[in-house]
Each structure stands twice: as structure tokens, then as C-alpha cells.
A and B are shown apart, each in its own frame.
Chain A
């Protein structure tokens, strides 16, 4: 059973650029949630994908968007990067949309915006 894998592990971008982060869910998990974790803080919910559609969204602007593919893998896209977007981006897969069986997190992508 493979866990959640995220790529790339680290990324440096310039303000105003666009970025795409990728996630492969754990085998058997059909739901993917994305979280932003600023330094020294807990993860903040960005959105969730289920059956290739957005299935819930946190307090993030529309320049944060995503995709889910038929194999349940997912992408997070961020347009017009701002300095405050610098954070660890975590992908979590789960058995269902409620998270009631726990999340399996990847190791994250560390994004630095300069």
C-alpha cells in the first residue's frame, strides 16, 4: 500500500508567477484535500476534491484552484503568487469526504515566494 506522494518537495517562485503542485493519493482513497501550513501554525483547509469535482472550500481566494484526475491524483494551482503564499502545502487523501476515518498526509511541498 503506497502512501501519499507530493511533488515537487521544494519550490521557489517570484511574486506574480503561477505554480502547480501535484499529489498522488494513497491506494484505495478517492478523496483529496489540500491544506496550507504557514510556519508555526496548524494546517488550514484550502479545498477538497471528490469524483473530480471541488467538494468544499476554505477561506481562500479563487486564484487557488485545483483538479482531480480519474486515478484520484490531484493538482493545486495558484495564480498571481503573493509573498504570503509562502508556506508548506499539504495534500491529504481519505476514504471518504468527511475525513471521519482520518487523513493520510503527504510530506508536503515547501513553496517560497520571493
Chain B
């Protein structure tokens, strides 16, 4: 089945710096890759996603890149702010499979 690995497990940056979180997946049939942000005491919230027919997608300060050949995708946050501090999860979804596999999460801390 699909296996998703996420790195790093923790990341600390200064406000205004960029943050990059990387994930790899194992099943080449995976075609949908969402990123979720989870704040303390809340459920994961979808922040951006990308499909396998696209290499990059951007939404304001957040961007996601996908390399299908290498089976990895990354989340980029620019101009980080303290409110970006949270746990971020990547995930991969396989067509005709109702199971979305999540990475183990990255705890991002943005220091003011």
C-alpha cells in the first residue's frame, strides 16, 4: 500500500523566513496530494493541494511542488508569521482507493 514519509519532524524559523517541508510517497498511482494544517485542539484544515497533472501550485504565501518521477512533493511557506505555527501534514490519495495516507507531521514554530 501507499507509504508517505515526511521531513523534518520539527522546524523552527524566524518570522519572515521561509519554511520548507518535504514528503515522499511510494505508490506511483497516487494522484492527489493535499496539505493540512493542524492547530492545537483542532482538526486538520486543508491549506493547499496539488494533482499529479500539475508541477506547482501557489496560493499567496503558500506553494506546493510535485516531482512525479522522484515521487516527492514539498510545501513552501514564505514570509512566515507566528500564526503559521502549527503541525503540518502531507497526504497522498490513490484513485479507486478510499484511503488517504498521511505523513507523520511537521511541527513548525515561527519565532517572532
Determine whether the beta carbon of A107 is less than 8 Å from that of B42.
yes
Tell me the nearest residue of chain B to A108, going by C-beta: B43
Tell me the nearest residue of chain A to B31, going by C-beta: A100
Complex Cα–Cα for A35 and B38 (A): 14
Determine whether the beta carbon of B98 is less than 8 Å from that of A107.
no
- Counting from the closest, the 4 A-B pairs by CB-CB distance are A56-B98, A105-B43, A42-B102, A102-B46
Residue-by-residue, is A29-53 near B (CB-CB < 8 Å gives 1, otherwise 0)?
A: 0000101000011111100100000
Complex Cα–Cα for A56 and B97 (A): 8
Q: Give chain A nearest CB distance to B85 CB in angstroms.
A: 16
Determine whether the beta carbon of B43 is less than 8 Å from that of A97.
no
Q: How large is the interface on B (under 10, 10 to 19, 20 to 34, 35 or more residues)?
A: 20 to 34
- Which of the 9-residue segments B13-21, B73-81, B88-96 touches chain A? B88-96
Tell me the nearest residue of chain B to A48, going by C-beta: B98
> B residues touching A (Cβ–Cβ < 8 Å)?
4, 6, 31-32, 34, 36, 41-46, 49, 51, 89, 91, 93, 95-105
Q: Which residues from chain A contact B89 at a C-beta distance below 8 Å?
A: 42-43
Determine whether the beta carbon of A99 is less than 8 Å from that of B98.
yes
Q: Which residues from chain B contact A45 at a C-beta distance below 8 Å?
A: 98-101
Question: A40 touches which one: B51, B99, B105 (CB < 8 A)?
Answer: B105
A106 CB–B CB distance under 8 Å? yes
Q: Which residues from chain B contact A28 at a C-beta distance below 8 Å?
A: none
Given contacts A48-B98, A102-B46, contact A42 B105 (CB under 8 A): yes
Q: Which residues from chain B contact A43 at a C-beta distance below 8 Å?
A: 44, 89, 102
Tell me the nearest residue of chain B to A56, going by C-beta: B98
Question: B103 touches which one: A42, A58, A98, A99 (CB < 8 A)?
Answer: A42
Determine whether the beta carbon of B100 is less than 8 Å from that of A99.
yes
Q: Which residues from chain B contact A56 at a C-beta distance below 8 Å?
A: 97-99
